[in-house]
Amino acid sequence: MAERTNYAPGTFSWTDLNTTDQDGAKKFYGGLFGWEADDQPVGDGMTYSMMNIGGKPVAGISLQMEMQRQAGAPPAWNSYVTVESADESADLATKLGANVIAPPFDVMDVGRMAVIQDPQGGFVMIWEPKLHIGASLVNAHGALSWNELATPDLDASAGFYTELFGWQAEPLEGMEFPYRVIQNAGASNGGMRPSQPNEPTYWLVYFGTDDIDASLAKSTELGGTTLMGPMDIGMGKIAVVQDPQGAAFALFAGDFDD
């Protein structure tokens, strides 16, 4: 278990779910991970559900915007990266060939963010913290533990994110397929892998679990679907799950970093 009071720039620091059924998602993840919801009003009759473990925020759940629903966007988990300046990072992303889907904007008094689509099509959020630093708890049961990019061009993606965030994407030896481990500020910060045929470019969010088999059984009981695994990867076991609304996420059981 690792508590956080700040994040170095370039670090994955938060994740939230955009879903078609906010109450249903809260029930599913609450039952799976023991999350407790703290619903925060965000205007126009909408709420942002801050999901907590022991009073510490670990993730967010919100209802899809009307524009997303009309476009038929599927429910999805979003990955946030801390930056010193959302405006400067968005400008740099544009110069590097990305699309800025949502230009930098203030999220009340908690932070400033932008939505970026990288040159290979993956979406990532950049987060300039103010009152909200991100997750207060990581690398624990029910908490954010890893972020992994599936991309059709591993070298191009590694180059883009290295330029944008200052990452190093180091090849992981001994794998059956190419895999890059993201290093940031001296710590492992996620990974990148080649996408499979017909697989979109996207960041997959991993949550920790103390018992992957028990979590998969609980997910099924709550209406989730196991898409892959459990698979032994040496340092632990992983699985990919789809929640009842259709959002995919992964589970990791093994040794966590501090």
pLDDT at 74: 87
CATH of the domain at 172: 3.10.180.10
**C-alpha–C-alpha distance, residues 167 and 161, integer Å:** 7
Per-residue pLDDT reduced to its tens digit, 137-193: 999 999 999 999 999 999 999 999 999 999 999 888 766 778 999 999 888 989 999
pLDDT at 17: 97
Minimal CA–CA distance to 224: which of 253, 199, 246?
246
Per-residue pLDDT reduced to its tens digit, 72-93: 778 999 999 999 999 999 999 9
Tokens of 8: 């170095």
Domain C-terminal end among 104, 129, 154: 129
Same domain, 125 and 241: no
Same domain, 123 and 75: yes
Question: 3-class DSSP state for residue 93?
Answer: helix
* Mean predicted lDDT score pLDDT of the chain: 93
Domain C-terminal end among 129, 146, 163: 129
55 — pLDDT class (breaks 50, 70, 90) = very high
Same domain, 103 and 51: yes
| Residue range(s) defining the domain that contains residue 49 | 2-129
Per-residue pLDDT reduced to its tens digit, 60-70: 999 987 776 77
**C-alpha–C-alpha distance, residues 32 and 140, integer Å:** 14
Same domain, 119 and 194: no
Same domain, 66 and 153: no
Same domain, 145 and 123: no
pLDDT at 152: 96
pLDDT at 1: 54
110 torsion bin: left (phi>0), alpha (psi -120 to 50), beta (else): alpha
Same domain, 169 and 147: yes
**What is the percent of the chain with per-residue pLDDT over 90, rounded to a whole number?**
82
Q: Which residue carries 């801050």 as its tokens?
A: 50
Q: Is the pTM of this model over 0.85?
A: yes
DSSP state of 7: -
pLDDT at 164: 98
pLDDT at 235: 80
Domain C-terminal end among 74, 98, 129: 129
Same domain, 165 and 66: no
8 — pLDDT class (breaks 50, 70, 90) = very high
Total structural domains within the chain: 2
87's enclosing H/E stretch is: helix 86-95
Same domain, 10 and 98: yes
**What is the percent of the chain with per-residue pLDDT over 70, rounded to a whole number?**
96
Same domain, 143 and 115: no
Same domain, 86 and 154: no
Same domain, 102 and 50: yes
Give whole-number Cα distances, 174 to 34, 170, 180, 247, in Å. Answer: 36, 13, 12, 31
State yes or no: pLDDT of 258 exceeds 70.
Answer: no
